[in-house]
Structure 1
Amino acid sequence: MPTLLLVRHGRSTANTAGVLAGWTPGVHLDDTGREQAAALGRRLAAVPLAALVVSPLERCQETAAGIGAVDGPDGPRPAPLTDERLGECKYGDWTGREIRALTKEPLWRTVQQHPSAAVFPGPGGEGLAQMQHRAVSAVREHDARVAAEHGEDAVWVAVSHGDVIKAVLADALGMHLDLFQRVSADPCSVSVVRYAPLRPFVLRMNDTGGDLSGLAPPRRRRRARRAVPSSDAVVGGGTGAA
């Protein structure tokens, strides 16, 4: 079972302006966001990456560039693969508006308390449940591809957005979407999931500064028997990363 690193983009100009960017073009990382992306590239230097899958929006592409700017232990990083299914939720008429104004909308309470029922108004508006479905489908599809092409020990990265990552984590945790507001995904945070045959395992959430070198797969002895990936959780807790 490969290891998926869910990375939220670094801080953007819309984040600091208090605006819901959505799919607005031309929203870039600010100076802090660029520093966050560069720092994440360095934090991942010891981890080989089999794939780098990215939302098409500029702030995610720029974050992926920061990751790719630092070679890994096996050399240059793979070229980014863009997947629109990892793009931000389509907020419809809410796009581009100030967050403080949106808090006064009747739909805001639904988004907070019953997000599975929230559908954003206007042309192109998407429901949060729709967003979760397409994002989880994309993640699982890429995870299966990475396993087939690079093996069960492979590590790969998906660079996406806060609500998208929270929705994917809620699914991995077995939480109803109505509880996903309990999950946090800060700018340039890393959350880690492994999809085993019977259940996902959530290994980290919202990590913004921890040591990531332990996510590198262990080196195997040349003639050692390969362990069979297990969906079972270790009773009493396991030994952790090698």
Structure 2
Amino acid sequence: MDGFLKLNKHKLRFAFVATSLIFLSLALILLIIGYFNEQFPDPVLLITILLVAGIGFPIFIIAIAYLEWLSKRRVRKRAFSKSPYDKLPKIGFTKTFINEKTKWFFTEETKEGFVNNFKIKCDITRENSKTIQFKALVEHRQIDKDEFKRLEHLFNKYDVIFDFEGLTKLLDINNPAIASVQQLESELMKFTELLKNENFEPIKARHNTVYSK
């Protein structure tokens, strides 16, 4: 809980107020509909509805979001404690934060670094907890439909997929071929060399997308 509060304490008030306003608005709409249909609740039920909508539901939603945040952190911690991914700092990866500048999502800690001049964001999802994703951020580039299909077919051979902001290399954390941090670094170098060979360049500006058709 301490880690969550350290990263998201400043967001909790906004989260509560925003969800409270949403549920209160929905409740008021239903009450207005009920009023015109002569089904308006008695004062006790009315107060109960408003308390549940304005306080109960927001607390419940925030609790669910916290449990989801905690589950993701456990998955990341388990994956990044497995060799050689526990040695990512040795090849320049440091901790970073996602959703740090938005109030609509809770901040989460992950890792990023630079390989062959490409900024690489490293993460893992709860749904695919055995695969670490290394996303290389690349400059915007126009790609027509045929070229996209060719690249997609080529990248699939190397477990690389198109992703928002860049291209992502998928690595199985149990892959015996990547047993040392040197082998991991070599795999990431091959990944970035593949991108360069296909004329993708490291991102120079933020908020670019990888391709357009």
* Same fold (TM > 0.5): no
TM-score (norm 1): 0.28
Q: From the two aligned structures, give the one with the greater helix fraction.
A: 2
Q: From the two aligned structures, give the one with the greater strand fraction.
A: 2
TM-score (norm 2): 0.31
